[in-house]
Chains A and B, each alone.
Chain A
Amino acid sequence: SAVISQKPSRDICQRGTSLTIQCQVDSQVTMMFWYRQQPGQSLTLIATANQGSEATYESGFVIDKFPISRPNLTFSTLTVSNMSPEDSSIYLCSVEDRVQGATNYGYTFGSGTRLTVV
């Protein structure tokens, strides 16, 4: 299965600043996904990052707040802009990955970025 390197693993940031999270995949993938997981909550999809086109954002998430780059098929960044304490969360990138021994596709995740905004 795909291996994803995500960094930073954690950060504590001042409100009003921005943080860029990076994900590097060990294989070429068409789509990369960015999720947010708040404490005790399920994963919420922020956006889908496609190489060569604008990211597709889910309802409630906008490009000005969460700009995404996808310069090639193995790399993507998510920026959390003008941060407030409400942005404190875990941010995860993921890629579609064939399930071993099966014909269907699940998702493999990066190790996550634990963000605290103070």
Chain B
Amino acid sequence: RKEVEQDPGPFNVPEGATVAFNCTYSNSASQSFFWYRQDCRKEPKLLMSVYSSGNEDGRFTAQLNRASQYISLLIRDSKLSDSATYLCVVRGLDMRFGAGTRLTVKP
């Protein structure tokens, strides 16, 4: 079993749609959680941290359920510029990356 598993996608949605990504992790001792965004042929960049209380940054909402070892990312009112691969990242002793979920937002 992979340490971090994500919806493989791809997700193809129209502009303005709401889309949700899920991620599960296997290491119950994990301490920090993140969503990264990776554009085609670019390096991953931090999108947001994920906290147990849930956190929001504009159109993006992240949730963490430690009991279920589950992380989610919700994107509201999708924009064309949201098209990218979204990586779920979990930190225990080191950082572990999911394989990513590819999102394409279409006009």
Contacts and interface: CB of A to CB of B under 8 A. Distances in A.
B43 A109 contact: yes
A3 to B, nearest CB: 12
Contacts of B99: 40-42
Contact of A112 (B34, B42, B98): B42
Interface in B19-75: 31-32, 34, 36, 41-46, 49
A3 B4 CA distance: 27
Interface residues of B, number: 21
Contacts of A13: none
B93 to A, nearest CB: 11
A105 B46 contact: no
- Give the dominant DSSP class at A's interface: strand
A71 interface: no
B95 A107 contact: yes
B64 to A, nearest CB: 12
A43 B4 CA distance: 11
Interface of A: 33, 40-43, 45, 48, 92, 99, 102, 104-112, 114
6 contacts: A42-B100, A43-B87, A106-B34, A107-B46, A108-B46, A110-B43
